[in-house]
């Protein structure tokens, strides 16, 4: 490596190669240039990250515009409640505790109407009950004298806080009043502690309760009047969607098992749709809990039987577990006898088709909230397909019976040469297992049918016109 001074006064470095040629190294950047490039790349990366964030936010907003509407509703509620600070008459009316109204809006405003009502009513009830109890115990403590006052207040905090905390472990209380119990503990403790040093405790409690009620009422009004999102309606749609996805998944699994094609990428998404049923338990229970707090809306009355949706979902998960077992059988379909798969092909597909049609019909009944007589016909078709498939499986079991060989003088059995009609057990078991799972799914679907029937009775689904004519005039035949 040689250094050569150029005409401009700069030093130029050259590397001499083995073949006699030389290469010029680029000049080293100065410290200022390197700092400039680092700062430039840093800000470029920041802008790129911010731009990607905006793109993702735009996609979420376009795909789910209701989330954008919810954000606007929260902004409207906070803007209105902030008027208690900006407008002097309102500020003086609440006694300077308007911040509690703002905090209430931030804490209790939820995505659905049911969730908002749940938090608002629990917060209002917990705050009011705790406030009244704290004032009553404070009065008793004052009458007992300065010596016993802190003892009574401390003992009351210990007893009531412990009892309220224990109530949160009771399933019925935890499901519907967990938030209220927590607010009760918080409010009672704060009011009791503040009352020991504050002279006008009643006025302070009144101001806080009134501002909390103002904030909660504003949340409820905004949530119901501006593009309401009902938890009950979301649960109704989710159960219907799960019924349709389970039917689609069952059809895809059976079709894929008896298909000769090895390419499964096109049907993988539909085949695994049953996972939505398995993973929706927590969201369904939450929605059902919030739906109980909602007023009557649309097709749903105030006492709509939301618990039956959970029963339907539990029975669907039982079927989905069997479908999950079907998917594992698909990975081992090459181990099954090709002859046996061809024999069971039509019957299994017929049974899965009738079963999926039942699920789709149930989804349609729930969607339209009408009873359909087609369910009975589909159940009869399913039962006939079950009997036919069971008969085929009994015939298959005869292939496992291998005649015993004759014994020689040493009482040893001679080996038997099997004919072509006998199929090895290891090739029969995979196909028979798959067919048995299809039968099990078809039989478990009857539980879903019964649960939807119970829901239709409790929710008073309407009867189809043809059914109404049959009931009013049984002698008239309905021609479809």
Is the pTM of the predicted complex or chain greater than 0.85? no
First and final C-alpha spacing in the chain = 97
Tokens, residue 112: 């659905």
- pLDDT at residue 475 in the model: 43
219, 104 in Cβ contact below 8 A? yes
Largest CA distance in the chain: 116
Is the sign of the CA dihedral 175, 283, 179, 295 positive or negative?
negative
Listing DSSP states for 346-404 in one string gives: HHHHHHHHHHHHHHHHHHHHHHHTEE-THHHHHHHHHHHHHHHHHHHHHHHHGGG--PP
- What DSSP designation does 272 have? G
Structural domains in the chain, sorted by start: 49-225 (no CATH), 231-399+426-464 (1.20.58)
Tokens, residue 103: 């905090």
- pLDDT at residue 25 in the model: 54
Listing DSSP states for 57-117 in one string gives: HHHHHHH-HHHHHHHHHHHHHHHHHTHHHHSHHHHHHTTT-HHHHHHHHHHH--SSHHHHH
Burial of 130 (0-12, 13-18, 19+ CB in 10 A): buried
In tens digits, the chain (480 residues) has pLDDT values of: 555 555 555 555 566 666 666 665 555 567 777 788 888 888 889 999 999 999 998 898 888 888 899 999 999 999 988 887 777 676 666 666 778 888 889 999 999 999 999 999 998 889 889 888 888 888 888 788 777 878 888 898 899 999 999 999 998 888 889 999 999 998 888 888 776 665 666 777 777 788 888 888 999 999 999 999 999 999 999 999 999 999 999 988 888 888 776 655 556 777 888 888 889 899 999 999 999 999 888 888 888 899 999 999 999 999 999 888 888 888 777 666 677 777 888 888 899 899 999 999 999 999 988 888 888 899 999 999 999 988 888 876 665 544 445 444 455 444 433 444 566 666 677 778 888 888 999 999 999 999 999 998 988 888 765 444 444 444 434 333
Tokens, residue 351: 């049974």
At residue 477, what are phi and psi to the nearest 5 degrees? -90, 135
Is the sign of the CA dihedral 397, 431, 355, 285 positive or negative?
positive
Angle (nearest 5°) at CA 285 between 318 and 72: 135
With tokens 């009513």, the residue in question is: 121
Burial of 420 (0-12, 13-18, 19+ CB in 10 A): exposed
For the packed helices 113-143 and 98-108, what is the interaxial angle rounded to 10 degrees?
140
The beta-carbon contacts of 129-132 under 8 Å, at least 24 apart in sequence, are: 129/184, 130/183, 130/184, 130/185, 130/186, 130/187, 130/188, 130/191, 131/187, 131/188, 131/191, 131/205, 131/208, 131/209
- pLDDT at residue 119 in the model: 92
Tokens, residue 307: 């618990």
Left if phi > 0, otherwise alpha if psi is -120 to 50, otherwise beta: which for 419?
beta
């Amino acid at each position: 490596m040689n250094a050569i001074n150029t005409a401009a006064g700069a030093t130029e470095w050259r590397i001499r190669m083995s073949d006699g040629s030389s290469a010029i190294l680029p000049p080293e950047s100065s410290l200022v240039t390197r700092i400039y490039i680092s700062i430039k790349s840093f800000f470029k990366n920041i802008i790129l990250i911010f731009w990607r964030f905006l793109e993702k936010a735009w996609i979420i907003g376009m795909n789910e515009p209701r989330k954008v509407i919810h954000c606007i509703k929260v902004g409207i509620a906070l803007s209105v409640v902030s008027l208690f600070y900006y407008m002097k008459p309102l500020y003086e009316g609440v006694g300077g505790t308007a911040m509690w109204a703002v905090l209430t809006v931030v804490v209790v405003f939820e995505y659905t109407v049911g969730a908002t009502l749940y938090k608002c009513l629990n917060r209002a009830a917990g705050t009011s009950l705790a406030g009244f109890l704290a004032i009553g115990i404070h009065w008793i403590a004052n009458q007992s004298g300065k010596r016993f006052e802190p003892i009574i207040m401390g003992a009351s905090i210990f007893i009531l806080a412990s009892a309220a905390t224990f109530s949160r472990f009771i399933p019925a209380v935890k499901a519907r009043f967990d938030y209220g119990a927590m607010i009760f503990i918080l409010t009672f403790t704060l009011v009791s502690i503040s009352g020991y040093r504050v002279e006008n405790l009643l006025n302070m409690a009144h101001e806080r309760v009134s501002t909390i009620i103002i904030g909660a009422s504003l949340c409820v009004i905004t949530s119901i009047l501006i593009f309401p999102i009902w938890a009950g309606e979301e649960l109704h749609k989710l159960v219907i969607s799960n019924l349709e996805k389970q039917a689609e998944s069952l059809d895809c699994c059976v079709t894929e098992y008896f298909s000769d094609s090895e390419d499964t990428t096109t049907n993988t998404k539909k085949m695994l749709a049953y996972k939505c049923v398995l993973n929706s338990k927590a969201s369904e229970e939450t929605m059902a809990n919030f739906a109980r707090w909602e007023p009557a809306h649309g097709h749903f009355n105030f006492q709509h039987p939301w618990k039956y949706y959970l029963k339907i979902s539990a029975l669907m998960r039982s079927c989905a577990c069997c479908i999950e077992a079907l998917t594992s059988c698909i990975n081992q379909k090459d181990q099954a006898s090709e002859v046996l798969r061809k024999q069971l092909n039509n019957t299994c597909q017929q049974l899965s088709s009738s079963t999926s049609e039942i699920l789709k019909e149930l989804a349609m009944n729930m969607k339209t909230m009408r009873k359909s007589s087609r369910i009975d016909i589909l159940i009869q078709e399913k039962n006939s397909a079950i009997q036919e498939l069971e008969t085929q499986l009994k015939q298959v079991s005869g292939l496992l019976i291998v005649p015993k060989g004759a014994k020689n003088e040493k009482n040893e059995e001679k080996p038997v040469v099997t004919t072509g009609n006998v199929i090895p057990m290891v090739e029969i078991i995979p196909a028979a297992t798959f067919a048995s799972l299809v039968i099990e799914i078809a039989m478990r679907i009857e539980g879903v049918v019964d649960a939807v029937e119970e829901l239709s009775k409790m929710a008073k689904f309407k009867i189809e016109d043809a059914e109404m004519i049959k009931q009013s005039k049984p002698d008239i035949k309905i021609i479809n």
